[in-house]
Amino acid sequence: MNSADQRPNRIEQKLAWLMLGLAAGCGTTAGQGAGGQTGAAPVVHLDMDPIKIEATTDAEGTHIEAFDAPELFEHAGKALSDKRFDEAVKGYGKLLKNFPESPYARPSLYNLGLTHIDRKDWPAAADAFKSLIEKYPSHADAKDSLFQLGACYAEQGNWPVSAEVFARVLERSDLNADDRIEAIARRGFAQFNLGDLDVAEKTFRAAMVFKQAIEKEERLSTDFFLAFSQYHLGQIFHSRFRKAALRLPEAQLDKDLEEKAHLLLTAQRAYIDTIKFGNPAWASAAGFQVGSLYEELYDAFMNVPVPPELDAEARGIYQEELFKKIRILLEKSLRWQRENLLMIERLGVSTEWAEKSRLAYAKLLHLLDPKLPGEGDDLLKRTAPSPDPSPTAPPVPRAPFRSGEDSKEPAPSDTDAIRRHVL
């Protein structure tokens, strides 16, 4: 017999206590005491969770089901922990429908949102978090629900609303330092994806300024969103670098090159500052991007129109001489991709950016010396690609679980029943 068979039925247990309370409260007389007075049994008051009883009829007959909020919450939490998401959704929904005022309703709403996140049903997750915010606006879970809500809109690509939600978060008075930096970073990310790079730059810089203001007074639990902000500052300058064209005649080319070189160094500095945070996910992404800057500058030079007055033979000589002068850009790019691969190897982390750097490194080896196959390089052997590399660009690193306080009432039997996580 397993432990579940040995455990008394919840409802039988509750009814037994109920009958005991009634028996104790219904006594009317007792034996005569020393003073000749009749003694009365004490009245027992029991606070019990409501029990619902449902009867359903099908071809097999009538079925009776009795349940209460703690039981539904426990079963739904277990389903969520076991990744039985449809069952968890059904359990939390049943609890909210039948016991809307139960102490279990609020954590059930939050966990329902988490379950929809795991199912990647972003609209349903957003609805759950919005309901919690509206019903419990002053509770700490409302703050965490706002973070989740803004992230759900981001997953849907609804950047205007995501930015608006994180602006609401920043108006709250109950944010700790980690909360504030995360909200600033996520708001900047929404602005970045809206293409409003000037505003996004100010927002990301605000995160860095805030960090400097509090670093002597408050210790942050994660550097993820600082590295996130610094990396996207690099992305903003990188975007401006790409848009800066190199044009003829030579006088114009000199001006364009000065501007493009300035943007390259600015972006490179931002990426290097990202690496200094030591977050493996963002460091590997930033290392790849620095190498890309030099390769992109090389490509920009190679795509400058050849002076129209040159004949075919002169054009060939022009291209050869140009390559000799700018091959140093490929060499710089190669060194950065190599260093990035070595850094990832030392850290022992698995990241899609390693695959990007490996492919870039092999390509650069071949560009610098077409006679070299590239695959013979020892570093490439050690950083072999995954069996099924993604054909698309790697996603930006995902944010970690939030470290918000767990709900204190009610205390679930499963530690995963009430949890905090952000996309």
Q: What is the DSSP letter of 39?
A: P
Residue 276 half-sphere exposure toward CB, CA atoms < 13 A = 8
As a whole number of angstroms, the distance between CA 226 and CA 233 comes to 11
Residue 153 has pLDDT above 80, yes or no: yes
For residue 18, being part of any structural domain is answered with: no
C-alpha 295/C-alpha 298 separation (Å) is 5
User: Phi and psi dihedrals of 56, rounded to 5?
Assistant: -125, 145
Q: Is 125 exposed, middle or buried (0-12, 13-18, 19+ CB in 10 A)?
A: buried
Residue recorded with tokens 């600015």: 266
Q: Tell the residue number behind the tokens 């114009």, with chain if given.
A: 252
* pLDDT tier at 383, thresholds 50, 70, 90: low
142 lies in the same domain as 244? no
Q: What is the mean pLDDT of residues 22-29?
A: 43
**d(C-alpha 197, C-alpha 243), whole Å:** 13
CA–CA distance, 246 with 301 (Å, rounded to integer): 7
What is the residue range of 352's domain? 222-395
Tokens of 401: 């679980």
Neighbouring-strand partners of residue 38: 32
pLDDT of residue 18: 36
Residue 166 lies in a domain: no
Among the three residues 156, 184, 208, which one is the final residue of a domain in this structure?
Answer: 156
Identify whether residues 337 and 235 lie together within a single domain. yes
What is the structure's pLDDT at 224?
A: 93
- Asked if residue 147 and residue 287 are part of one domain, the reply reads no
Q: Which of 165-174, 350-359, 369-378 has the lowest mean pLDDT?
A: 369-378
252 and 386, same domain (yes or no):
yes
- The mean per-residue pLDDT over the stretch 59-70 comes to 70
Domain identity same for 359 and 266: yes
* Residues 258 and 126 reside in one and the same domain: no
| 404 in any annotated domain | no
Residue 57 counted as domain residue: no
Residues 147 and 286 in one domain: no
292 found inside a domain: yes
Q: How far apart are the first and last CA of the chain?
A: 42
**366 and 233 share one domain:** yes
**Each residue of 369-381: pLDDT tens digit?**
876 555 446 676 6
- The identity of residue 307, as a single letter, is P
Rounded distance between C-alpha atoms, residue 334 and residue 337, angstroms: 5
For the chain, how many helices (H) and strands (E)? 16, 2
Task: For residue range 201-224, list pLDDT tens digits in order.
Answer: 999 999 999 999 998 888 899 899
Q: Examine the fold and report which residue of 122, 138, 156 is the final residue of a domain before the chain moves on.
A: 156
Question: Is the bond preceding residue 100 a cis peptide, omega within 30 degrees?
Answer: no
The pLDDT value recorded for residue 55 is 54
Whole-Å CA distances, 342 to 8, 176, 256, 361, 367: 59, 36, 34, 12, 21
Question: 269 and 390, same structural domain?
Answer: yes
**Residue 400 domain-assigned?**
no
Work out the average pLDDT over 350-374. Answer: 84
Task: Report the number of distinct structural domains present in the chain.
Answer: 2
DSSP state of 58: E
Q: Over 60: is that where the pLDDT of 196 sits? A: yes
Q: What pTM did the predictor assign?
A: 0.77
Asked if residue 27 is part of any domain, the answer here is no
| CATH number assigned to the domain comprising residue 130 | 1.25.40.10
Residues of the chain with pLDDT > 70, as a percent, come to 72
Q: Are 133 and 233 contained in the same domain?
A: no
Two structure tokens written together for 104: 């279990």
In a domain, 76, yes or no: yes
Last residue within a domain, chosen from 116, 135, 156 = 156
Mean pLDDT score, 266-295: 96
Q: What is the pLDDT of residues 117-127, one digit of tens each?
A: 999 999 999 99
Please tell me whether residues 374 and 255 are part of one structural domain. yes
Q: Provide the CB-side half-sphere exposure for 375 (13 A, CA).
A: 3
Q: Using 50, 70 and 90 to split pLDDT, how confident is the model at 391? A: very low
Alpha carbons 129 and 112: distance in angstroms, whole number = 9
Do 341 and 235 fall into the same domain? yes
